[in-house]
Amino acid sequence: MATYEYLCRDCGRFDVRLPIGTAPVSHDCSTCGRGAPRVFSPPGFSRVHPALSAALDRDERSRDSPEVVSGVPGRRPPRPPHPALARLPRP
């Protein structure tokens, strides 16, 4: 099922859930019953996780003005081995 959006001139926008690919060009308004044309709107991207949204924004900004790196980033200190790995057989 997909959600399709229609615009009634008197009542405003309303949504209709129909099987994918079966949406008619116009649909009767759920309030007044008049025919309302289908409008195309972007999918609901507002429900994107904040971390993904920040990454997408950073990617969009870097297209026009990429970040410039002035040096090699520092190395992280090695992590200590996991205690469970000590029990594994060694070659």
At 43, is the secondary structure helix, strand, or coil? coil
The pLDDT score that the predictor gives to residue 64 is 82
How many structural domains are present in the chain?
Answer: 1
Per-residue pLDDT of 15-61, as tens digits, reads: 899 998 899 999 999 889 899 999 987 776 556 678 887 888 888 88
Backbone angles phi, psi at 86, to 5 degrees: -65, -25
User: Is the residue at 35 inside a domain?
Assistant: yes
Within 13 Å of residue 91, how many CA atoms lie on the same side as its CB? 0
Q: Find the domain containing 7 and state its range.
A: 2-39
User: What CATH number is attached to the domain comprising 12?
Assistant: 2.20.28
Q: Count the helix, strand and coil residues of the chain and give each as a percent rounded to the nearest 5.
A: 25, 25, 50
Backbone angles phi, psi at 83, to 5 degrees: -60, -30
